[in-house]
Amino acid sequence: MFMSAEKKIQLNLAIPEQYRNLLRRMAAERMMSDPSQVVTGASIATEILLTVLKDIAGETKKGVPNHD
């Protein structure tokens, strides 16, 4: 996951119910594959959002990859 030592803030988003259900299913599948891991729909959404934002940030720097 992308969690590092930098300060985290909470962000509340409203998404369609179908995507919330998809995130819940993805979390359940991950927990079934590794029951010792605690996974939530919100944690998966955070991973997805951070991945996309990092890609966007890299593109806005004229193609220079962002190596965080």
d(CA 9, CA 19): 22
28 domain-assigned: yes
48 domain-assigned: yes
Please give the residue range of the domain that contains residue 34: 17-60
Please count the CA atoms within 13 angstroms of the CA of 65 that sit on its side-chain side. 3
pLDDT tops 60 at residue 64: no
34 domain-assigned: yes
42 domain-assigned: yes
Per the model's pLDDT, the better-predicted residue between 25 and 63 turns out to be 25
What is the model's pTM?
0.72
Please report, for residues 1, 17, 20, 45, 54, the alpha-carbon distance to residue 13 in angstroms, rounded to integers and kept in the order given: 20, 12, 11, 10, 19
